[in-house]
Amino acid sequence: MPDTLFGAMLQSIVDGAPDTAAELAQQALANGVDPLEAVNRGFAVGITFAGDQFGCGEMFLPDLLASAEAMKAAIKVLEPEMLKRGSRREALGKIVLGTARGDIHDIGKNLVATILSASGFQIFDLGTSVTPEQFVAKAKEVDADIVGVSALLTTTMAGQKAVIEALDRNGLRPRVKAIIGGAAVTSKWAAEIGADGYSRNAIDALELAKNLMGKGTALA
């Protein structure tokens, strides 16, 4: 039953069907499925697939936005229970998140924030088009362990580099780890700008954050 349910969740995201996604999320909760597992094995797999399809030209922007709406509908149903369970988990660390200056895309960042929060991280989400100075100020204010910078566009990836340089200038690294993500981001770019890691999707971001905090299975 769960495997069939996870498959249907995936498909609801690919199809961009918010009503179906919300219904499946409610069904999962009613059947005692862990909401984080529903995201990890169902809905997030769908949004990752949709992102990959968009990246290789098999899916167009309106389709991707429809998938994102379906994802939001599912998360809206699951999030209260995810956060309730997350608050009972061991506190894993403090993470400041935001999209790079000039970038207003937040679908991926919001999903990462939800999954990290539900898994026990304390999240400080600065939103979109965040300046390096804002990242530094918030990291100092909350005594952050990790700063995560998202960029969907190649034109805003330079903003990720600027954040890492600002963290360095202010003496926050290497204690504060810097991670990056986004559709155009690669491991090569992460190495080039001195990031402590990068992730392709929200599930990878969770494992990366756990590893950097010494709570994961193996450092990737």
- The answer to whether position 77 is within a domain reads yes
Cα–Cα distance measured from residue 44 to residue 35, given in angstroms and rounded to the nearest whole number: 12
Cα–Cα distance measured from residue 35 to residue 171, given in angstroms and rounded to the nearest whole number: 39
For the segment 102-124, what is each residue's pLDDT rounded down to a tens digit?
998 887 888 788 778 877 788 99
**Weakest mean pLDDT among 20-24, 198-202, 207-211:** 198-202
179 neighbors 212 (Cβ within 8 angstroms)? yes
Classify burial at 54, counting beta carbons within 10 Å of its beta carbon; exposed 0-12, middle 13-18, buried 19 or more. Answer: middle
Query: What string of DSSP letters covers 112-145?
Result: HHHHHHHTTEEEEE--SSB-HHHHHHHHHHHT-S
What residues contact 4, with CB distance under 8 A and at least 6 apart? none
Same domain, 64 and 147: no
**Weakest mean pLDDT among 84-88, 155-159, 190-194, 209-213:** 84-88
Residue 172's domain is classified under what CATH number?
A: 3.40.50.280
For the segment 56-107, what is each residue's pLDDT rounded down to a tens digit?
889 887 888 888 889 889 988 998 888 787 665 567 899 999 999 999 888 7
- The answer to whether position 219 is within a domain reads no
Answer with the one of 70, 88, 106 that is the final residue of a domain.
Answer: 88
Cα–Cα distance measured from residue 74 to residue 87, given in angstroms and rounded to the nearest whole number: 20
Answer with the one of 19, 53, 88 that is the final residue of a domain.
Answer: 88
Residue 14's domain is classified under what CATH number?
A: 1.10.1240.10
Q: How confident is the model at residue 1 (pLDDT cuts 50, 70, 90)?
A: low
Same domain, 70 and 102: no
- The answer to whether position 218 is within a domain reads no
Would the pLDDT of 193 be above 90?
A: yes
- Domain hosting 64: range is 2-88
Number of other CB atoms surrounding residue 129 within 10 Å: 17
Q: Which helix (H) or strand (E) holds 178?
A: strand 177-181
Overall number of domains in the chain: 2
Would the pLDDT of 194 be above 60?
A: yes
Same domain, 174 and 140: yes
Same domain, 141 and 207: yes
For the segment 11-67, what is each residue's pLDDT rounded down to a tens digit?
999 999 999 999 999 999 999 998 888 988 898 888 878 877 877 889 887 888 888
How far from each other are the two terminal CA atoms of the chain, in whole angstroms?
A: 33
- The answer to whether position 78 is within a domain reads yes
Would the pLDDT of 126 be above 50?
A: yes
